[in-house]
Amino acid sequence: MARILVVEDSPDIADLISHFLQGAGYLTTLAATGSDGLGLARAAPPDAIVLDLMLPGMDGLQVCQALRADVATAAIPIIMLTARGEESDRIRGLELGADDYVTKPFSPKELVARVGALLRRVQRSVAVGTVLLYGPLAIDSDRHTVQLNGGDLRLTAKEFLLLKYLIEHRGRVLSRDLLLTDVWSYQYTGGTRTVDVHIRRLREKAPYLSRAITTIKQFGYKLEDPAPLP
């Protein structure tokens, strides 16, 4: 059974999320502060984290950043909850490494569906058990790791899945809507800017991809065939 860490300062909302997650067959652990959530994640890394943005003391953005900076927790899928509607707050969370976000008020069933979709994508990639090679990149689906020129490349769970999908479909023009549906595993309603943020992060972390990933104006992206290694 997958274990989900819920970091939410409102007892009513935390209990509601936990109730629906447990009803779907997940084990849940609750934390009411950012520092408590970070400590629990480091002590016993969960399979996924539902993280509120507005937390007392250490807020959700700081927790997300700390999780991504720790090798033991860097790959844990994170779904961020926010009561804010501004795009800048959602994009900031994605830039710091969140894999998805849900804006309050939200449907508990939709949140459970998003948690399940994210976990299925991670588990499906692990089950494949193959190593994909693309230029200097080596993607190990079994170990869920990426190497660049022989060194470890630290990616979030969603960045890993997006890179793997691009490589598996290299040479094809992929629309943002298709990427949202296939990589995020559901009909995403948060806007295609999410894809752009993740593509930009891949380009920043692996400069080799800067020219390899071509932007198709007003449509999507295409991963070109790998350039010859020097």
Residue-wise pLDDT for 35-64, tens only, equals 999 999 999 999 999 999 989 989 999 999
Using CB atoms within 10 Å of the CB of residue 86, give its burial: 0 to 12 exposed, 13 to 18 middle, 19+ buried. exposed
d(C-alpha 83, C-alpha 105), whole Å = 7
Work out the average pLDDT over 104-133: 77
Work out the average pLDDT over 25-31: 96
Q: What is the mean pLDDT of the chain?
A: 85
Instruction: Using the predicted structure, report yes or no on whether residue 224 has a pLDDT greater than 70.
Output: yes
Instruction: Using the predicted structure, report yes or no on whether residue 107 has a pLDDT greater than 80.
Output: yes
Instruction: Using the predicted structure, report yes or no on whether residue 98 has a pLDDT greater than 60.
Output: yes
Instruction: Using the predicted structure, report yes or no on whether residue 189 has a pLDDT greater than 60.
Output: no
d(C-alpha 223, C-alpha 163), whole Å = 10
The answer to whether 192 and 177 are in contact (CB under 8 A) is yes
Dig out the tokens for 38 from the structure.
Answer: 């970070």
Q: Where along the chain do the CATH 3.40.50.2300 domains lie? A: 3-121
Dig out the tokens for 159 from the structure.
Answer: 């960045």
Q: What is the pLDDT of residue 171?
A: 83
Cα 174 to Cα 162, 215, 220, distances in angstroms: 12, 10, 6
**Most confidently modeled of 30-39, 125-134, 191-200?**
30-39
Q: What is the pLDDT of residue 127?
A: 45
d(C-alpha 112, C-alpha 186), whole Å = 12
Cα 50 to Cα 11, 116, 216, distances in angstroms: 14, 12, 33
The answer to whether 51 and 60 are in contact (CB under 8 A) is yes
The model's pTM is 0.66
Q: What is the pLDDT of residue 169?
A: 86
3-121 CATH fold: Rossmann fold (3.40.50)
Dig out the tokens for 135 from the structure.
Answer: 């230029």
129-223 CATH fold: Arc Repressor Mutant, subunit A (1.10.10)
Q: Where along the chain do the CATH 1.10.10.10 domains lie? A: 129-223
Q: Higher confidence at residue 45 or residue 141?
A: 45
Residue with tokens 């290694």: 229
Instruction: Using the predicted structure, report yes or no on whether residue 204 has a pLDDT greater than 60.
Output: yes
Buried b (16+ CB within 10 A) or exposed e, 185-202: beebeeeeebbbbbbebb
